[in-house]
A and B are shown apart, each in its own frame.
Chain A
Amino acid sequence: MEILSIEPFLQTPEINFNHETGTLYLSGKCYPADAIEFYQPIIDWSKEYCKNPAEKTTLICEVEYLNSASQKQLVELMLVFKPLHDSGKKFVVRWRYEEGDDDILSVGEFIEHELEISFEYQEVQF
């Protein structure tokens, strides 16, 4: 397994998923026209990672913009980690949102409540 690294582009975020440290970092603007195409390799990598995860997994979502399709793909991504969380492995989502951005905060809250996954919220400045 290799580190998953994707450079940020105009409408897509930086991705750095490290299987050795268990730190999975997603940061930036996220409004690709085809969100499924963008997220598929990330979801595939995550499924593979969950077969042999690090002792602790931290998914850091630091999202500046999030279009509707990407919201749904983030749900799909979280669903991959749900069994890991439910099996008692340490898994936490660090949900970083821009100060005053209630929209992105509420998306995190919706996912947290629906999937019953631990979220830590942090206001940041982009």
Chain B
Amino acid sequence: MIVTNDIQHKKELFDLPYHKDQLEYWGPITPALADSFLTMGNTFIYQYFSNLDSTYLKSVFSSLVVMVQNVSQYAENSSGGVENQVFFRVKDDGQHILITTVNRITAKDKLSVKSIFDRIFAIPEQELDAEHKKMLFTGGGLGLIKLRKLKGKTLEYSFLEKKEGQIWLEIELKLNYGNT
């Protein structure tokens, strides 16, 4: 059971327990792999949570698309600059659906990523629509604004430095059942 041991070893390294009620991916990412994960994610969300409201599930899946494609795009744009390792997870905790992404970023990018997050998180809720419209026509990224516009959610991010120069960006979105 060499393969099983290898997976177990990797999961232990990153404190990733096994759960039957979640979908996860751990490894390098390419646009094609991101697409595949999203296709699986779509099936998982609509089948596993089929008792929940379809409008809610649509918001969950749209959020997953934003988060996974942002990470995939970063990995593609910074190829060679940082080890391409990501973790995606969709999980149910009985009251919420949680979407988590973790990816390696360069030390150089940490400041600019943080400033983007700080700026988007500082926008008052009532101004998010105006910001969305502005970004739509001026070329800025829309993904984080879309996540911030969700109702009944908790959106958090953090940086984790495991070793010197090895920085992980973790983003977690928690969506209350039926309230988006």
Contacts and interface: CB of A to CB of B under 8 A. Distances in A.
Interface in A95-115: 98, 100-101, 103, 106-107, 110-111, 113-114
Interface residues of B, number: 27
A111 B133 CA distance: 8
A67 interface: yes
A110 B132 contact: yes
Contacts, number: 58
A15 B137 CA distance: 24
B66 to A, nearest CB: 7
A106 B58 contact: no
Given A10-B39, A33-B31, A34-B31, A67 B133 contact: no
22 contacts: A10-B35, A33-B31, A33-B32, A33-B35, A33-B73, A34-B31, A65-B61, A65-B65, A67-B62, A68-B141, A68-B146, A69-B69, A71-B136, A100-B55, A101-B55, A101-B58, A103-B146, A106-B129, A106-B132, A110-B132, A110-B136, A111-B136
Interface of B: 31-32, 34-35, 38-39, 55, 58-59, 61-62, 65-66, 69, 72-73, 129, 132-133, 136-137, 139, 141-143, 146, 149
